[in-house]
Structure 1
Amino acid sequence: MVINISFPRHGEMLPCVDIFVCTADPRSEPPSLVISTILSLMAYDYPAEKLSVYLSDDGGSIFTFYAMWEATSFAKHWIPFCKRYNIEPRSPAAYFSESDEPQEPCTPKEWSFIKDMYDEMTERIDSAIMSDKIPEEIKTNHKGFCEWNLEINSKDHQSIVEILVDGKDQNAVDNEGNVLPTLVYMAREKRPHHNHNFKARAMNALIRVSSVISNSPIIMNVDCDMYSNNKDTIRDSMCFFLDEEMGHKNGFVQYPQNYNNITKNNIYGNSLQAIKKVEMGGLDSVGGPLYIGTGCFHRREILCGMIFTKDYKVDWNGGAKDKIQESIVYNIEEKAKSLTTCTYEYDTQWGNEIGVKYGCPVEDVITGLAIHCRGWESVYYNPIRPAFLGVAPATLSQTLLQTKRWSEDYKSMDRALVFVFCVTNLYNLYEALSCGDTMKGWWNVQRMWMVKRMTSYLFGVIDTLRKLLGLSHMTFAVSSKVCDEDVSKRYEQEIMEFGSSNPEYVIIASIALLNLVCLVGGLCQIITCSWNIFVNTFSPQLILCGMLVTINIPFYEAMFLRKDKGRMPFSVTLASAGFVVLAFLIDIMIPIV
């Protein structure tokens, strides 16, 4: 479906939009990456006075705040540059990495000027991080730097809310005199003895903070590494909310999660093409897709617990940015800070009936289900030009870590019947090929599903059981988006990365070795038995074991053939061999017992 956007009947009635971006760790999510996402969101083809961009920094990092401060100056040049020449994508990092020279009608002089300005900004940010110090002369240029002192750390700090760009301030304009979107930095209060509920509570804090600054009726949220790749995404989304026949039923509009660094054959199975192109759209028949935590537009009211009714109507004029005019910025910031303290939500329904739900690392999914249960429907939209692009895990360890987090509180069901197994996989292959995957890419996805089931999902279930039994507390591990040059090179060559002595690797290597030994042992027994015994007894086992050995070939290469730094560590191979020997000793001893 292609939508031709124009709003002649709505004119100035277009809804205001609050955009939420969440970051948690400046080491895994570098500030330069974060601000490129922020800049892409500020540059949407949408009235700037109706846009407010909020960053939640759960790391409470002065360097992330400094990067935001730098971005406000660069935005005055970047946004008009994008709109004047219809630039796509509007992430400066993505744009300059895709093109080494300007395209018409942009002049080489202006292109070079903007690029040099961007390079100088990122160099200043990276230099500050490397030196672990913000220059003193810069700290005096914004009062926000005073919030940081020697006692502050990522797990223990006060509430910080700073309005970096006030969209209602007549001085908040770009270099052509056009108004800039409102830009706000937030770091909610964190204390060691208070449960902070990870991204879910950060989202809820953003809902409250934005309510006293812009209070827009539409809230969009996106991960800090998922930059805007389509300047018309907001206008596209508004079509689903403003539709005169069905719009009132739509609670949220969900876009797929796409990546710009997927290898040709999808080595770690992260593209999820069939899910994005077939399954998510198919959920329209049951009320719409799930909320996947990024690339989503919500009505503010449904995130605050509203139940759908047939006579529901919305005032799109509500919430514009008039609240900033009612009082000085300082008072608004202080009010916003009071809404992000550790104790604010005590004895309230936040995290339960109001806002994003707590108690599960996949808070987005259960929040979306709760919205559906309150009578709302959702829309899945997958435009030809992806709305958002991000960075997929580039190592096996990062992939397993991410999948383990997603898998908690889920149960997987295995197939019993060979017929169902074959038909399911053949149809899955058909879907993948029809969606643009290669045969090898599909095969890589099958390998990664097998690996995830015996590592990420296993540990996810164990962690969930420990949490339910009160033996541990829920944790949230941030997937790193940073790789060194050798790792990146191997990833581009579609060579699996191991390198470290990860406990998941021991499981992978042990099962791979066990399958190999079983295959060899089975072949030896076939040589000494009759054909009938082979057909009736060994053939199903041999076929299954042969498939497993084939799919495990990259692991055998990593254990025995490769010499690069990404190979399987010898300690892992040795431990795995020990477990295989132990398994055979147990098998031998069982008949004796």
Structure 2
Amino acid sequence: MGGGGEEDEHLPLFETKAMKGRLVYRVTSHTKRRRKKMGLDTYVRIRIMIDSACQVQFHRLVLILLPLIFKKLYKAMEDQIETATKLGYIPEDIQTKHTGFSEWASVTSQRDHQSILQVTCQYIIIDGRDSNAVDADGCVLPTLVYLSREKRPNRPHNFKAGAMNALVRILDFLYLQFQSATNNELPVMQLRVSSKISNGQIILNVDCDMHSNNSDAVKDALCFFMDEQKGNEIAYVQFPQNFNNLTKNDIYGSKMDVITKVEFPGLDGHGGSLYIGTGCFHRRESLCGKKYETGYKFDMKRRIEGKVKESVNELEETSKILANCTYEEGTQWGKEMGLKYGCPVEDVITGLSIQCRGWKSIFYCPERAAFFGIAPTTLAQMLVQHKRWAEGHFQILLSKCCPFIMGHGRINLELQMGYSIYDLWAPNCLPTLCYLILPPLYLLKGIALFPKITSPWFIPYAFVIVAANAYYLAEFMWCGGTLKGWWNDRRVWMFKRTTSYLFAVIDTVFNLLGLSSSGFDVTAKVSEQDVSERYEKEIMEFGSSLSGMFTIIATLALLNLFCLVGGLKRIALNLVNSGFETMFLQVLVCGTAVAINLPVYQALFFRKDKGRLPISLAFKSFILALLVCKIFLY
């Protein structure tokens, strides 16, 4: 589309072309007479204005088209996955596109198969990638490795920790030699590296349900590692765990803003925060067991000498050995190297051991979230997740890896106490259950447990109740929460302590007695359409799963309701001396519990959707609560 000759008096026309991935704008020439009329400055200003307008229109078009393209690609991938799930095998047309799928043809179970590995590039060169492996803009493509490590029914695969260690081995093949020191110190680990796929010194660890939200996160992490004064002592940079599917008032208390904005930054000032298993940049050497020594210096630009060039088939076959379930036998993997085994919170215990080897860590919370994940959308998912966390932390407290034992003389006391806050999550179930059971029952019987309102001893109780709740409310609001969100958080706090933490204590005790073994409860993040709709409307999802935990929640809710009604009846009939003055604090505790449990009563008696509590569970909880009240009265 060109515009006019020398005598043309019309404004110039523009056209755009896509050349080598960039937009080039061509402007038709003005007539000499028009340029003289307008003046060169005016001409240039008009040209820039029109050129800018074209760019704006193009970007608007891109913003409209890109989401549609991605949506179409995602839909196609979703259809393929659903088809394979329904059929129970990978269709042949898809298997031909990906060689890794062909190896799954002989697999009969997800828990019983050989190591499966696939690399995307044709050739892997350690010190220089294939120059032809570039995208449309000429940028070098990253190496993508698909790994499904070997699993056998008679051998433990150590869940997430085992998968992480297998990936670390494959990315960097480590031959280990142990040499005992002459002065009775701990064995010194010497690493001789023969890099198989990548010699990168920094490893980013994210969960499969998370995605990047801030491209500057990599630069931010590298700034800490490359700091001239403190960078050499940093083992990992931990970013907070954020979620992009939270409701306005965070019905299941998944945001944990107080932890990420108050507690973790506080720990960061005393040597570093916890490693929480995702959104973390690791220094490879610290993750592989190296101890930090004063004066240690590391050149981030250091390259491993020698280039290794292998075809894809050769590389895959030689690397599969590292993912075999027998490879770790007789080695220090899972003990002194990589993520530690034997604990449901392998990430926390690994971070603690790294800090006990002399390394420091950084907790960085940028204004724009670095990574986003998916928060639980049902009450069952949330309770299972916190049960695993609480159980793992409690096991750490009762083991030789207790912060006060393993950390003694290695990390400062403040950091030891910081770890103990989370290690004591599970035992908190005991005082919570006492407050939810004993005051209501004694209220029902008309026996006072607390001082009268007119007594001077009432003042300390009143101060603790008001100060603690006011402080937490102010802290919660300062972190960006809402008043309703704070109330939801209090409800979730009570549910966790009476179910997740209780089961964590029971499982830990059974594990110590040898009556059971620790498992890894995977938190499901996939929900049906009606469940998602109720979640968006902030309607609490109960359902029929986790009948044991839900029975406890429903029984405690009904117990407090029966006791509150019975206790108020006694006060109204003057069956208690000094009535309301004597029983005020017990009425307050019981009434608060009833108010918090309003969603439970709705799920028991009023709701008709699939998210309600089953009738059988409601009947069982009703009988249990009534039976406890009757037994206590007589």
Q: Name the structure 1 match of 2:284.
A: 300
**Counterparts of 1:253 and 1:290 in 2: how far apart (Å)?**
10
Offset of residue 408 of structure 1: 0.3
Of 124, 127, 133, the match for 2:83: 127
Specify the SS of the correspondent of 2:145: strand
Q: Name the structure 2 match of 1:182.
A: 143
Contact 2:559-2:629 within 8 A present in 1 as well: no
Q: Name the structure 1 match of 2:170.
A: 209
Distance 1:379 1:421, change over 3 A: farther
**Counterparts of 2:58 and 2:620 in 1: how far apart (Å)?**
54
Distance 1:318 1:582, change over 3 A: farther
Offset of residue 215 of structure 1: 2.8
Of 364, 371, 374, the match for 1:391: 374
Distance 1:219 1:577, change over 3 A: same
Q: Name the structure 1 match of 2:583.
A: 538
1:339-365 residue CA offsets vs partner (Å, 9 max, x unmatched): 121121122221111111111111111
> Are 1:433 and 2:477 counterparts?
yes
1:136-162 residue CA offsets vs partner (Å, 9 max, x unmatched): 243234432332234431111111221
Q: Name the structure 2 match of 1:18.
A: none
Q: Name the structure 1 match of 2:489.
A: 445
Q: What are the within-5 Å matches in structure 2 for residues 52-451 of structure 1?
A: 104=60, 106=62, 108=64, 112-113=68-69, 115-165=71-121, 168-211=129-172, 212-318=196-302, 325-409=308-392, 410=394, 411-412=424-425, 413=428, 414=431, 418=461, 419-451=463-495
Q: Name the structure 1 match of 2:529.
A: 485
Instruction: Give the alignment's Cα RMSD to 1 decimal.
Output: 2.5
Offset of residue 561 of structure 1: 1.5
Offset of residue 546 of structure 1: 0.7
Unaligned runs of 5+ in 1: 1-79, 85-100
Judge which range, 355-364 or 413-422, deviates more.
Answer: 413-422
Q: What are the within-5 Å matches in structure 2 for residues 470-549 of structure 1?
A: 470-501=514-545, 502-529=547-574, 533-534=578-579, 537-549=582-594
**Counterparts of 1:204 and 1:107 in 2: how far apart (Å)?**
40
**Counterparts of 2:348 and 2:375 in 1: how far apart (Å)?**
20
**Counterparts of 2:560 and 2:203 in 1: how far apart (Å)?**
50
Offset of residue 202 of structure 1: 1.0
Q: Which has the higher contact order (CA 8 A, sep 6+)?
A: 1
Distance 1:536 1:119, change over 3 A: closer
Offset of residue 122 of structure 1: 3.7
Contact 1:217-1:319 within 8 A present in 2 as well: no
Distance 1:320 1:142, change over 3 A: farther
**Counterparts of 1:384 and 1:320 in 2: how far apart (Å)?**
36
Distance 1:454 1:349, change over 3 A: same
**Match of 2:167, as an amino acid?**
L
Distance 1:109 1:225, change over 3 A: closer
Specify the SS of the correspondent of 2:618: helix
Of 573, 581, 588, the match for 2:626: 581
Contact 2:90-2:101 within 8 A present in 1 as well: no
Contact 1:214-1:320 within 8 A present in 2 as well: no
Distance 1:578 1:344, change over 3 A: same
**Counterparts of 1:110 and 1:304 in 2: how far apart (Å)?**
41
1:276-319 residue CA offsets vs partner (Å, 9 max, x unmatched): 11111111221111000000011011111111112111132345
Contact 1:216-1:318 within 8 A present in 2 as well: no
**Match of 2:88, as an amino acid?**
D
Offset of residue 327 of structure 1: 2.9
**Counterparts of 1:367 and 1:107 in 2: how far apart (Å)?**
43
Contact 1:159-1:341 within 8 A present in 2 as well: yes
**Counterparts of 1:258 and 1:449 in 2: how far apart (Å)?**
19
Contact 1:514-1:580 within 8 A present in 2 as well: yes
Distance 1:573 1:118, change over 3 A: closer
**Counterparts of 2:623 and 2:63 in 1: how far apart (Å)?**
65
**Counterparts of 1:118 and 1:514 in 2: how far apart (Å)?**
49
Distance 1:108 1:435, change over 3 A: closer
**Counterparts of 1:354 and 1:580 in 2: how far apart (Å)?**
51
**Counterparts of 1:538 and 1:364 in 2: how far apart (Å)?**
47
**Match of 1:559, as an amino acid?**
L
Distance 1:382 1:102, change over 3 A: farther
**Counterparts of 1:427 and 1:247 in 2: how far apart (Å)?**
36
Distance 1:243 1:396, change over 3 A: same
**Counterparts of 1:460 and 1:543 in 2: how far apart (Å)?**
29
Offset of residue 525 of structure 1: 1.3
Percent of paired sites with the same residue: 51
Contact 2:344-2:388 within 8 A present in 1 as well: yes
**Counterparts of 1:535 and 1:107 in 2: how far apart (Å)?**
65
**Counterparts of 1:221 and 1:322 in 2: how far apart (Å)?**
27
Distance 1:528 1:322, change over 3 A: farther
**Counterparts of 1:110 and 1:490 in 2: how far apart (Å)?**
30
Distance 1:321 1:108, change over 3 A: farther
**Counterparts of 2:63 and 2:364 in 1: how far apart (Å)?**
35
1:90-146 residue CA offsets vs partner (Å, 9 max, x unmatched): xxxxxxxxxxx9953727566655554444344334333333343324323443233
**Counterparts of 1:149 and 1:238 in 2: how far apart (Å)?**
42
1:187-218 residue CA offsets vs partner (Å, 9 max, x unmatched): 11111011111111111111111102103211
Q: Name the structure 2 match of 1:552.
A: 597
Unaligned runs of 5+ in 2: 1-19, 24-56, 173-195, 395-423, 436-459
Judge which range, 446-455 or 578-587, deviates more.
Answer: 578-587
Offset of residue 582 of structure 1: 2.2
**Counterparts of 1:241 and 1:171 in 2: how far apart (Å)?**
31
**Counterparts of 2:70 and 2:111 in 1: how far apart (Å)?**
37
**Counterparts of 2:117 and 2:495 in 1: how far apart (Å)?**
42
Specify the SS of the correspondent of 2:62: coil
